[in-house]
């Protein structure tokens, strides 16, 4: 099957920066019209402008993925406007508190991170899946993290939320495996992205020290992998966690 996505509609939540933006660019380069959803509409519109300048097709939507009703409203509106949603990328996420041991955190520290990193994924899955099941075709990709496999010390809320996301992907993928819909995730090691701008230096050094390649990943590397996974070519893989860790986790 072809990697071309000409004629397809792809939605990228959290597409205004970092891995989401890189994914939007890579998917647009395959020929899809990309709808970039972000909490910051100015960021989304900036990426839309970049894609159009490169000859691609894109549009922007405001989305607070932690608001369940809004998620359904926006997804249904996109589907109504374009007649289909062939691919969906969830790149919404925050690191939450870093550099602090779990037993020193408050319960709300975990709750806040779970609201953004896990429950938003649940909302978006529930909103987009009925359209894909009806069409008997769809590709969903959730951006997890290597910390969801390995666990990063002093990043318990983030690591725990991403581990939960991986479990969610594995379970839901099996539920729709015969419906023409795939659901996968990607587990990047530390990537050059705005999400890491406030991560303490010692935490960054620890994460890079675990990478056999000895370097930080680039958002563009994640974007290219994600674009392949949500293309028609990736048709016999579902419930999988794609490695993007420079060799840190090869399982």
Residue 64 pLDDT > 80: yes
DSSP per residue, 154-184 = T-HHHHHHHHHHHHHHHHHHHHTTTTTEEEE
Least confident of 93-97, 140-144, 154-158, 198-202: 198-202
Q: Structure tokens of 109?
A: 């520290």
Going along the chain from its start, the domains and CATH numbers come out as: 9-244 (3.40.50.720)
Asked if 217 and 192 count as a contact pair (C-beta separation under 8 A), the reply is yes
> What's the pLDDT score for residue 58?
98
- What pTM did the predictor assign? 0.95
Catalytic residues: 158
- Helix or strand (DSSP H, E) at 59: strand 57-62
Query: Could you tell me which residue, 139 or 198, shows the higher pLDDT?
Result: 139
The residues near 48 (Cβ < 8 Å, ≥ 6 apart) are 36, 58, 59, 60
Give the mean pLDDT of the chain.
95
Banded model confidence at residue 193, pLDDT cuts 50, 70, 90: confident
């Amino acid at each position: 099957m072809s990697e071309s996505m000409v004629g397809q509609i792809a939605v990228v939540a959290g597409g205004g920066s970092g891995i989401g933006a890189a994914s939007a660019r890579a998917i647009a380069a395959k020929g899809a019209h990309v709808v970039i959803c972000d909490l910051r509409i100015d960021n989304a519109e900036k990426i839309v402008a970049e894609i159009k300048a490169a000859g691609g097709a894109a549009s922007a939507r405001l989305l607070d993925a932690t608001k369940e009703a809004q998620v359904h409203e926006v997804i249904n509106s996109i589907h109504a406007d374009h007649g289909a949603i062939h691919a969906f990328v969830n790149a919404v996420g925050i690191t939450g508190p870093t550099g602090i041991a779990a037993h020193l955190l408050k319960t709300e520290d975990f709750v806040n991170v779970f609201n953004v990193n896990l429950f938003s994924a649940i909302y978006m899955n529930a909103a987009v899946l009925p359209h894909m099941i009806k069409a008997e075709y769809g590709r969903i990709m959730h951006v997890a993290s290597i910390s969801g496999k390995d666990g990063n010390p002093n990043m318990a809320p983030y690591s725990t939320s991403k581990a939960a996301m991986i479990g969610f992907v594995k379970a839901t993928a099996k539920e729709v495996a015969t419906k023409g819909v795939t659901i996968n995730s990607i587990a990047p090691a530390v990537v050059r992205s705005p999400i890491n701008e406030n991560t303490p230096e010692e935490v960054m050094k620890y994460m890079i020290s675990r990478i056999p390649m000895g370097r930080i990943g680039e958002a563009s590397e994640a974007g290219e992998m994600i674009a392949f996974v949500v293309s028609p070519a990736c048709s016999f893989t579902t419930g999988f966690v794609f490695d993007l860790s420079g060799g840190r986790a090869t399982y």
